[in-house]
Structure 1
Amino acid sequence: MTKSPWFDTSIEHALVTHQSPEDEQGYYVYQLDALKTHLATLQQQDVIKLWFAVKANPLSKIIQTLDSEGFNFDVASTGELTQVLAQGIDPSRVLNTGPAKSKKQLDAFVKKGVRTFVVESLNQLNWLNEVVLEQAESLTNDEKPKVLLRVQLQWHEGEKNPLGGNSLTPFGLSVSEWQNIHVDSYPALNLCGLHIFQWGNMLSNEKMFSLWSQMITPLTDLANSIGMTLDVLDLGGGLGIDYLGEGQALSWSQVIEDLAVIKEKSGVKELWLELGRFAVAECGYYVVPVVDRKINYGQEQLVLAAGINHLLRPAITEQPFPVQILREGFSAEKSIMQAFDLHGPLCTSMDKLGHLLLPEDIAIGERLVFGYCGAYGFTESMPFFLCHELAAEYVYQNGTFTQVRAAQPASSYMA
């Protein structure tokens, strides 16, 4: 039996045999054993410190698995912090990012024990300094928070993407704006690093290395001009997944080799990456049944029980998640395949999951399985439109299929 390269056949039987009326609108499942193995591979190096960008997948079992493999956690909201701390993670292993940090939020994070921050504006920098001074009596001398300034650079080449790329975004400030400060003006803080992250889902080792290399001079010059000893350089994430199956998978060993060069040239003590999709995407699947099939102007269409209300990414990026039919004994080589337009149930033409190859004899009621759904699936979706249900989430570990969170009808969130 031949399966797609992204599909792990060890989970096939569990998916084929899983039948639950509660999951007829689609559900997620994550392979924790495969995830643990992948994370262990990522940690077999001593060049970079790895953080997990919780926005990619905040499910409790995912966080627990990352914790077991020594990852730290990048949180960008109060909700993400609450979820991480609920898994028993020490707040000293939390990095607070995000462009909308208010003084109230910074105060709450410091009170909860968070001691590492990426600040994205002059206001945030001043507020954090004030918060720490106001809490001075409850803090010990060695608890001065580590602070990284987020820098937004501009490149003439490249393209836009969800993290901005070449376009102007609210993420951080320009070098010229940060040059208006001096480290000595913030005695309550340990301003020790710079953060830069503007490129998402990068698929070329060569391009990533080129971009990283171009960052070194402006960032080290900035640090010198404001009196900062540049101990930490945080390059964010942006490592991509080949959703389209174009043979553009990144080489992790090459990433590490390139980052070793960047670390040496920049002269920093620590180099950080905040991995999201690259850490967890491959462990996740989304299963959803076909509810209708029709032909419009010669084009075969499949209408699914759920679409971008559970998988929004295709509408944002115009890149579909890979898909195949969930059918016992299925072989693409032995089947006649044809291209279908895949649509969800929402009353908008945006609800399209792709133009993808599936067997021509696919029938109403059969289920599809989408790959790389371990990242930017459930929590990036838009289930509330048309009062659709929230999808269930399962984990598959040691041969056991376990529900972590049940599907919820619209009545669970409607007032």
Structure 2
Amino acid sequence: MTTPTWFDTTIENALINHKSPEDEQGYFVYQLDALKEHLAKLQQQDVIKLWFAVKANPLSKVIQTLDGAGFDFDVASSGELTQVLAQGVDPSRILNTGPAKSKKQLTAFVKQGVNTFVVESLNQLNWLQEVVLEQEQRSGALVKPKVLLRVQLQWHEGEKNPLGGNSLTPFGLSVSEWQKIHVDSFPALNLCGLHIFQWGNMLSNEKMFSLWSQMVPPLTDLAKSIGMTLDVLDLGGGLGIDYLAEGQTLSWSKVIEDLAVIKEESGVKELWLELGRFAVAECGYYVVPVVDRKMNYDQEQLVLAAGINHLLRPAITEQPFPVQILREGFSTENTNMQAFDLHGPLCTSMDKLGHLDLPSDIAVGEQLVFGYCGAYGFTESMPFFLCHELAAEYVYQNGRLTQVRKSLPASSYLA
């Protein structure tokens, strides 16, 4: 194999030829043509309704591309709502999620036309009821929002994962807590569904189907016990990307096949997924130059112009983004490769992007490109530590590289 499967060679020349002093601390690029093609494939089914989890990548051009592909939007903060509305998305196509919804935030969302909510506590449920009734008093009309209750289940020992598993999290409530309410007590709300999402970056179709199957009985029983007609079941996201190139990839056709079974077993009218990384990860790249190379206790090290100040994910998951050198005519077939430790410029041992194979003759000044950076890249970074620059973001479309936001110096955010 001359090039890794994650790298789209149609963008290679544009990255090699891109020369800008402003981007010498690293920059992000999103291949919108590839994203559009990928999203179209995801939409070629009639089993599930697809939402985009904006936390994965809130860039305007990315949102616009998803909008054009027919995705609706899962927003978990006021900032995400503002960004999505700014792209011309109708608020009726927005789902409000997140564990920290105050009554003030719920009021603001309702006033801006959002009418679909996932509530994660008894407080949120009561506050939303109050907000809707207050809105009715002002307008003279009752507009019932769709409301899904987020449920947190406990799993068999060993099923732990980043969003919980057996670990207690702030996401939703247990079945026993939700059983304290009854749908009839909330006449201003259309309590029509349940939401559950307790896994992250899943790479096995079999394991995902097993988890989904285990959820159906307790969720349908819960709905019956509180007087809910279960019209909607939202399974969140968690579909994974094979960052480590271990050959574990999800089959989308099998996902749809499995979800058709879940839909029938649960008896719901609508099944929802909120895709984040699975929708956008493959379209994104991060480019950064090497500023130093050294040998330390028999280990080759490369120090990069930026590290976790732009790409934090490797430090918190121990799963590095894949990498290759940006070099004209490069192929692994005719290059001697060796493992390097990749470090960034921050004064902390956390600033490591992985232990990865690169050409043994790599030199200071050459550029690296990291893949799968379309999700959890720029907005999951920690750019303020040591007062480094904010990375620029570009899109690549119709053969052109276009800057969406320029690199910004520390003076732009320091007071």
Query: Normalised by the size of structure 1, how large is the TM-score?
Result: 0.99
Pair 1:185 & 2:176 matched: no
Q: Deviations over 1:156-189 (max 9, x none)?
A: 2334333122211000000000000000000100
Amino acid aligned to 2:19: Q
Is 1:287 the equivalent of 2:282? no
1:153 alignment partner, SS class: coil
Match of 1:32 in 2: 32
- Matches of residues 3-14 of structure 1 in structure 2 within 5 Å? 3-14=3-14
Partner in structure 2 of residue 363 of structure 1:
363
Once the two structures are TM-superposed, the CA of residue 139 in structure 1 deviates from its matched residue by: 5.4
1:129-175 residue CA offsets vs partner (Å, 9 max, x unmatched)? 00000000455757310000000000023343331222110000000
Determine what percentage of the aligned residue pairs are the same residue: 87
Counterpart position of 1:341: 341
Per the alignment, residue 57 of structure 1 pairs with 57
In structure 1, distance between residues paired with 2:140 and 2:217: 36
**1:80 aligned partner:** 80
Q: Which residue of 1 is the match for residue 252 of structure 2?
A: 252
The residue type equivalent to 1:43 in the other structure is Q
Residue ranges of structure 2 left out of the alignment (5+ in a row): none
CA distance in 1 between counterparts of 2:323 and 2:395 reads: 19
**Residue in structure 1 matched with residue 395 of structure 2 by the alignment:** 395
Q: Distance in 2 between matches of 1:400 and 1:299?
A: 39
User: In 2, distance between residues paired with 1:175 and 1:229?
Assistant: 16
Aligned position for 1:209 = 209
| Structure-2 separation of matches of 1:139 and 1:193 | 27
Q: Corresponding residue for 2:103?
A: 103
Secondary structure (helix, strand or coil) at the match of 2:162 reads: coil
8 Å Cα contact 2:146/2:192 also seen in 1:
yes
What's the C-alpha RMSD, in Å, of the aligned pairs?
1.0
**Number of the residue aligned with 1:264:** 264
Does the alignment pair 1:224 with 2:224? yes
Please identify runs of 4+ aligned residues in structure 1 that moved more than 6 A. none
CA distance in 2, matches of 1:138, 1:46: 39
C-alpha separation in 2, matches of 1:401 and 1:264: 45
Task: Give yes or no for contact 2:231–2:268 (8 Å, CA) kept in 1.
Answer: yes
User: Which residue of the partner structure matches residue 157 of structure 1?
Assistant: 157
Q: Residue type matched to 1:154 in 2?
A: Q
How many angstroms apart in 2 are the aligned matches of 1:388 and 1:167? 35
The CA deviation string for residues 73-114 of structure 1, in whole angstroms up to 9 with x for no partner, is 000000000000000000000000000000000000000000
Aligned length: 415
**1:200 Cα deviation after fit:** 0.6
Determine helix, strand or coil for the equivalent of 2:292: strand
> Is residue 411 of structure 1 aligned with residue 411 of structure 2?
yes
Aligned to 1:317: 317
Q: Tell me the alpha carbon deviations over residues 221-276 of structure 1, each in whole angstroms, 9 at most, x when there is no partner.
A: 00000000000000000000000001111000000000000000000000000000
For 1:300, the equivalent position in structure 2 comes to 300
Deviation at residue 2 of structure 1 after TM alignment: 1.8
Per-residue CA deviations over 1:48-73 (Å, capped at 9, x if unaligned) read 00000000000000000000000000
Amino acid at match of 2:240: G
Q: TM-score, normalised by structure 2?
A: 0.99
User: Partner amino acid for 1:288?
Assistant: V
Q: How far apart are the structure 1 equivalents of 2:189 and 2:140?
A: 13
Maintained 8 Å contact 2:136/2:143: no
Task: Give, in whole Å, the separation in 2 of the partners of 1:174 and 1:359.
Answer: 51
2: CA distance, partners of 1:233 / 1:161: 21
